[in-house]
């Protein structure tokens, strides 16, 4: 079993309309990973909020959204290079029975 995550990196300008694109990409990955629909929706909304927060705090910068899919979880990092200002989200994959 591989422990290397699947990784997608998205670079965005500070435009709130682009936050929805990052949220949509995250939702697709979460659904593909097997998360229940309500968890996918909540995670998508949290991702959009995180992007908008980063855009508001650093409006003149370009932003990087990193999506990581592990066997047991999906993670999102907004602006990892921003140090303590980076926003990190993670949700466990709940097996469907």
Strands (E), the chain: 6-12, 63-69, 73-78, 87-92
Residue 4: what pLDDT? 85
Looking at the DSSP assignment, which residues form a beta bridge with residue 40? none
Residue 54: what pLDDT? 96
pLDDT tens series, the chain, 97 aa: 557 889 999 999 999 899 999 999 999 999 999 999 999 999 999 999 999 999 999 999 899 999 999 989 999 999 999 989 999 999 999 665 5
CATH topology of domain 6-92: Heat Shock Protein 90 (3.30.565)
Domain ranges of the chain: 6-92
């Amino acid at each position: 079993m591989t422990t290397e995550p699947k990784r997608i990196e998205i670079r965005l300008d500070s435009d709130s309309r682009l936050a929805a694109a990052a949220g949509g990409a995250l939702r697709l990955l979460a659904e593909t990973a097997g998360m229940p629909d309500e968890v996918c929706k909540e995670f998508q909304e949290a991702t959009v909020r995180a992007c908008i927060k980063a855009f508001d705090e650093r409006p003149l910068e370009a932003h990087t959204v990193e999506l990581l899919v592990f066997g047991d979880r999906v993670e999102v990092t907004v602006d990892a290079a921003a140090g303590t200002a980076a926003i990190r989200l993670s949700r466990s994959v709940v097996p469907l029975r």
